[in-house]
Amino acid sequence: MHQHQGHHCSIRHTRQHKVRLGTRPALLPAAVLLLVFLASCGRPVMGKDMSQGKDAAFYEETVFTPEAPKNDDPMPAPVSKTEQAHVPGYSGTPDPLPTIGPENEPVKTSEPVGKTMPENTSASSPVPEPVPSHTPMPSPAPSPTRTAAPSPTPQSQQLQGIVNPYVPYTYDQMIIDCQELAETYPEIISLDVAGQSVEGRDLVLVKLGKGEKKIILCGSHHAREYITSSYLMKMAEEYAKAYHDTGSYGNYNVKDILDRACIYIVPMVNPDGVNLVVNGPDHVGDKEAVAAMAMLRKSYREWKANINGVDLNRQYPAEWEKKYDEIGRPASESYKGEAPSTEPEVKAMMELSCANDFILAASFHSKGNVIYWADRGTVDLIPGVKDMAKRLSKLTRYSLMPVSEDPSVYGAGYENWFRLEFLRPAFCIELTPYNNTDVPHDDRKFDKLVWNNAKYIGLFLADEALKR
């Protein structure tokens, strides 16, 4: 409690008044009035002191020690302007994005760099840490968080750092994050470009590691599955940070693995489609063309194809002729195109894969918590893939799917083409649980939906490549 100075009526002054009353009885009426004044003078001061002490204690109790949110109450994330795009399912009117560089490429949006605290995302069941083939390094105490982010409450833990996976992940933010990661971890991360999209956006390539043996991981073939992009970007950051700080991640010796292997990551194969899903049709290059395409779902948030209305994961020259196409024209999903590999994004992935001696590949999708690992055309031609798939399933707790038998269903996907072209392992991994909707997941639940099960996949695959 603060001490209050300058009171007009002190104890010393009161005593002086009482002495004067004893020596001058003629002044008794005035003295009585004066005593009344003096007595009342102290009350407001005491009342003020007491009330301020009570208010201060209440402030400290209610402001500095707030009640943590309950486990099942999500903490609302701030809504950015890009999330308010004027499309079905959105509300508000977005600010227009100016263009620079390629004619239709928007400038980087001013998304908040600060990280949004998600709701509690504890896994329903613990995922066992894997046992790699190399002796792991001991894990020292974790280093302090490098960048500012909200401190987690005891009930809520979340990843912190450069990449924020708890909000809808945009192409523009990915570019910013890639540059910052390369600047922060130059000894282990370098950047390249695999090609360009229809609207001229770079298909960014993140190279993580120094070794000669390479694997390739890719995400967001499908636009509404952009959570696979934030997953791959957060993976790159966490592995690079572990390499720099401790040399280990879980039971994996990150330094040993990334010194001998290199993980090639194309986080966003379909940046134009992701831009449409997150920012809405007002931000595409040709609004009229997109509006004329067949919509198989209610809103643009459920868009799956590239900006030409072609499903990129039905475009690869692997049983393309047999691939079922229920729409037959440019659409929000399912259209396989007039011929295989017509789309620039598919051409870029094929060229990248052919130009490098990748030991294995994985393409990440959302909704299913399953692993597609083989098709009837190649299953007997790739040694050891079944055992590898079983180990991956045990690591992630994702279910292994049966060998794909019908090319009208499995044909023309990236992983199917990779197996057929190189006779090497390639996986299609559905990272998140199915939830009876094609709308993107709640990104605030990233840890529970993705990370708790999938955080070791990149190191697992790189470690497997070192064995082959």
pLDDT digits (tens, 9 = 90+) for 255-311: 999 999 999 999 999 999 999 999 999 999 999 999 999 999 999 999 999 999 999
Amino acid at 411: G
Query: What DSSP state is assigned to residue 129?
Result: P
Name every residue whose Cβ is closer than 8 Å to that of residue 254 and which is 6 or more positions away in sequence: 239, 242, 243, 246, 247, 248, 459
User: Helix axis angle, 171-184 relative to 227-245, nearest 10°?
Assistant: 10
Instruction: Give the pLDDT of residue 446.
Output: 98
Residue 112: C-alpha distances to residues 144, 167, 170, 237, 285 (Å): 22, 10, 12, 18, 25
Report d(CA 84, CA 402) in Å as an integer: 41
97-134 per-position pLDDT tens digit: 233 233 333 333 333 333 333 333 333 344 444 444 43
Q: Round to whole Å and give the CA distance between 194 and 205.
A: 6
72-103 exposure pattern, b = at least 16 Cβ within 10 A, e = fewer: eeebebeebebbbbebeebeeebeebeeeeee
Residue-level pLDDT at 158: 85
CA 461 – CA 392 distance, rounded (Å):
8
Whole-number pLDDT of residue 41: 38
Residues in the chain: 468
Please state the domain extents for the chain.
11-64, 81-110+158-467
DSSP for 290-325, please give it.
HHHSB--SSSGGG--S-TTS--GGG-SSSSGGGS--
So what's the pLDDT on residue 468?
A: 92
Task: Concatenate the DSSP letters of all residues of 325-388 into one string.
Answer: -SS-SSBSS----SSTT-SHHHHHHHHHHHHS-EEEEEEEE-SS-EEE--BTTTGGGSTTHHHH
Q: Token pair 């004066």 is at which residue?
A: 34
pLDDT in tens, the chain (468 residues): 443 343 333 333 333 333 333 333 444 444 434 443 334 433 333 333 333 333 333 222 222 222 333 333 333 333 333 333 333 333 333 333 233 233 333 333 333 333 333 333 333 344 444 444 433 333 333 333 333 344 443 334 689 999 999 999 999 999 999 999 999 999 999 999 999 999 999 999 999 999 999 999 999 999 999 999 999 999 999 999 999 999 999 999 999 999 999 999 999 999 999 999 999 999 999 999 999 999 999 999 999 999 999 999 999 999 999 999 999 999 999 999 999 999 999 999 999 999 999 999 999 999 999 999 999 999 999 999 999 999 999 999 999 999 999 999 999 999 999 999 999 999 999 999 999 999 999 999 999 999 999 999 999 999 999 999
| pTM score above 0.85 | no
3-state SS assignment for residue 209:
strand
**Bridge-based pairing state of the strands 202-209 and 261-266:** antiparallel
What's residue 461's pLDDT?
Answer: 98
Return the H-helix or E-strand segment holding 428: strand 426-430
Contact 431, 161 (CB under 8 A): no
CATH code for the part of the protein at 81-110+158-467: 3.40.630.10
Q: Determine the pLDDT at residue 82.
A: 36
